[in-house]
Amino acid sequence: MEQLTDSILTKVIKNRPANSHKGTFGKILLVGGNQNFGGAIIMAASAAVYAGAGLVTTATDSVNLDSLHDRLPETMFINYHDKVQLSNSASSVDTVVVGPGLGDDVRSQEVLLTVFANLSDQQTVIIDGSAITMMSKYKIDQPAGHVIYTPHQMEWQRLSGITISDQTIENNSQVARQMNATVVVKKHHTEIYTVDNKVYQLPIGTPAQATGGMGDTLAGIVGGFTAQFTNKTDAVLAAVYAHSAIAEQIAQNHYVVLPHQITESLPQFMNKYAN
């Protein structure tokens, strides 16, 4: 097992080529936010925009449209119950983030199935929150694409069958190895099980991060990084590192770190490491 350091940031975050446009930095679709959890998808989409994704579309319940655009005019919007629009978007973007605040009722399941049915091998899909819970609840198969799961310990228990007290690195690796996916098991000192069977641990992070929306924000950063940086595994590692490094900086003089504070710090933080 390897400990992550900030060298992953200089490895991944590159100066932008002069001859570029928004399409150069990835088209990303974020799917989530039911009538109760609209904030989750707004936080995830904001994180993707501030992490530098080129073109961002948010598919959510239409009840969230006004607050979404009020907070984040940079994103486009789709009503996620519109199957045709959702299918077209899911099949045409480079990267999909699905799950933050999606909920786990049958209507949410329908949204998830539509997204999964439209993915193909060239795409990257970040599966978070309710999407993980529904895959175990409704026994939904892993979709096509480069798959990245971002479960917290309870979601990992649901997905892997390993109870939280048995989630040792050895047990987690054994299951992750059979999944053809990268798994980010989120907790204090998050572990990352990569698709090529390596294990990394995040040695940083703070209890000031223990607040709702912190994982939704990470899912958006992972989406933003994988959408624009070539090596997908390194992009995940850098996203996980950046999320907690920024939180630690804010926590130096704040008792609690709010997810949107991390998001707002991303462009300046990334600029320091770009090379």
Q: Contact residues for ligand NPW (CB under 6 A)?
A: 37, 39-40, 99-102, 129-130, 133, 152-155, 164, 187, 212-213, 215-216
Q: Is 189 annotated as a binding residue?
A: yes
Interface residue with Mg ion, options 129, 213, 220, 259 (CB under 5 A)? 129
Q: Candidates 87-95, 126-134, 174-182, 241-249 — which segment interacts with Mg ion by CB under 5 A?
A: 126-134
Q: Candidates 25-33, 45-53, 73-81, 128-136 — which segment interacts with Mg ion by CB under 5 A?
A: 128-136
What count of other Cβ atoms lies within 10 Å of the Cβ of residue 25?
A: 19
The tokens describing 104, both together, are 């786990």
Interface residue with ligand ADP, options 48, 96, 214, 235 (CB under 6 A)? 214
State the nearest-atom distance from the C-beta of 93 to ligand NPW, in Å.
20
Interface residue with ligand ADP, options 216, 225, 226, 262 (CB under 6 A)? 216
State the nearest-atom distance from the C-beta of 238 to ligand NPW, in Å.
22
CA distance 222 to 203: 18
Q: Which residues bind Mg ion (CB under 5 A)?
A: 129, 215
